[in-house]
Chain A
């Protein structure tokens, strides 16, 4: 409830933050719908937003979270790691597999913010149970989740999981892309974040655009995602950092109109594979290089089969995709809009 109240109270533009009902002009996207209610419904266990720390926002506006703490031991203070991970059919049956869950938890703990695809369950407690496992060691991960999406009755949800010691969510800037022409099987789930720093006004802020295309409609969908990307670039005048990440079912040669976006850069290419069978490069992290100079140049595919010394079958029981990650500076690059 706290998050819902914060989103409603701050949506009017405190510190220039985003109103969830703002109009976006563009050929595809007309609006972003707030997910605050969906988020609340996904939290039946009260595991997220229930601790006092969430009400101790360290800055004005819709950014909210626990007080600034020293950075976690996972990365340097001046860098953040963001990732995308398609956790194939992430639902009840996977939660019941302790070996697979142990790997998923250890994988997520390596990152500061991670975009998850393929939450597939009718139950609303999948992410809360994941967060409970993540935080069992004292970590302070949190999540937001989108609505169930998909044209058939088999739906999926996107989620963002983030370490609240390291990352702040702009809770008024969470939503699902409006897709009135119905070009996308699962319209992207978007949210705006920034690293938790001692000087929030200088922190790197960015949109994450979480996506999973329909494998039967890839050329059309990647072209629609190019529109999404460009609309997000102009969604607000004080934000030029748009990071599209997810399972595109397309390698870098198959990105269609995304390749035509001026200055566009993708991290995965050159024959690096991102699936567990190591024969597809479908997952990627895409941004505009001139705008997002905070990218340090470091990225990789986390091969958890090797990392955790798993057999191929054991690795496939975790997911048929490996996470892809990239590193960014916590400070906004000089001269950038924000």
Chain B
């Protein structure tokens, strides 16, 4: 087992210090940790020490593997706003490789109770492209939102 596999397993450990150290190690490994993208998104729902390092790791890893799309889609509707935020962000980083996720992202724009997730989903659709009628409709409504950022991002996604 290599270090990356070990740290990914340690993110599931019952000991919070082991989980935090694993998240920190994955963060310090930079883009080498890209294969752990989904594990890190899940770790964003953990306690502060784990969450901070997981979020910092996700900022640096770039686009996740294409085969992580299904797992990321399942996390978009997480009740934890940070998990949802990062699942959406990574789908957006995939661009057209995540085009099949646009309906899920459109629902996040319309229905997420978290403004940060709504905005990020609109941003992601700007990267992916919006072709489905229901997604375009969601974006049109968002473009008329009172939130200047959501309106701006939705308008850009529609352009």
Q: Which residues of A contact B (CB under 8 A)?
A: 88-89, 91-93, 118, 120-122, 151-154, 180-183, 215-217, 277, 313, 316-317, 320
Residue B143 at the A interface, CB < 8 A? Answer: no
Q: Are A152 and B116 in contact (CB under 8 A)?
A: yes
User: With A93-B49, A152-B82 as given contacts, are A317 and B30 in contact (CB-CB < 8 Å)?
Assistant: no
**Chain B, interface size: which category?**
20 to 34
Contact of B123 among A152, A181, A216 (CB under 8 A): A216
- Residues of chain A contacted by B86 (CB below 8 angstroms): 152
Residue of chain A at shortest CB distance from B119? A151
Q: Are B27 and A89 in contact (CB under 8 A)?
A: yes
Q: Are A181 and B148 in contact (CB under 8 A)?
A: yes
CB distance from A69 to the nearest CB of B (A): 38
Contact of B116 among A120, A153, A217 (CB under 8 A): A153
- Residues of chain A contacted by B119 (CB below 8 angstroms): 151
User: With A182-B148, A320-B28 as given contacts, are A151 and B52 in contact (CB-CB < 8 Å)?
Assistant: no
Stretch at the interface among B53-61, B68-76, B99-107, B131-139: B53-61
Q: Which of A120, A154, A183, A215 has the most C-beta atoms of chain B within 10 angstroms of its own C-beta?
A: A154
Q: Are B55 and A152 in contact (CB under 8 A)?
A: yes
**Measured CA separation A18–B115 after assembly (Å):** 34
Residue B129 at the A interface, CB < 8 A? Answer: no
CB distance from B131 to the nearest CB of A (A): 22
Q: Which residues of B contact A (CB under 8 A)?
A: 20, 24, 27-28, 30, 44, 48-49, 51-53, 55-56, 59-60, 81-82, 85-86, 89, 92-93, 115-116, 119-120, 123, 147-149, 152
**Measured CA separation A91–B24 after assembly (Å):** 12
Tell me if A's interface is mostly helix, strand, loop or mixed.
Answer: loop
Q: Are B152 and A181 in contact (CB under 8 A)?
A: yes
- Residues of chain A contacted by B120 (CB below 8 angstroms): 151
| Those 4 A-B pairs whose CB atoms lie nearest each other, nearest first | A182-B149, A154-B55, A151-B116, A152-B85
- Residues of chain B contacted by A277 (CB below 8 angstroms): 30
Q: Are B60 and A320 in contact (CB under 8 A)?
A: yes
Task: With A89-B24, A89-B53, A91-B52 given, name 4 new contacts (CB 8 A).
Answer: A93-B20, A151-B115, A153-B116, A216-B89
**Measured CA separation A217–B127 after assembly (Å):** 11
**Measured CA separation A181–B119 after assembly (Å):** 13
Contact of A216 among B27, B52, B92 (CB under 8 A): B92
Q: Are A88 and B92 in contact (CB under 8 A)?
A: no
- Residues of chain B contacted by A118 (CB below 8 angstroms): 56
CB distance from A158 to the nearest CB of B (A): 16
Q: Are A216 and B93 in contact (CB under 8 A)?
A: yes
CB distance from B48 to the nearest CB of A (A): 6
Q: Are B147 and A182 in contact (CB under 8 A)?
A: yes
Q: Are B81 and A93 in contact (CB under 8 A)?
A: no
Q: Are A152 and B149 in contact (CB under 8 A)?
A: no
CB distance from B25 to the nearest CB of A (A): 10
27 A/B residue pairs, CB under 8 Å, sorted by A? A88-B27, A89-B56, A91-B49, A93-B49, A93-B53, A120-B56, A121-B48, A122-B48, A151-B115, A151-B119, A152-B85, A152-B116, A153-B81, A153-B82, A153-B85, A180-B148, A181-B149, A181-B152, A182-B148, A182-B152, A183-B149, A216-B92, A216-B93, A277-B30, A316-B28, A320-B30, A320-B60
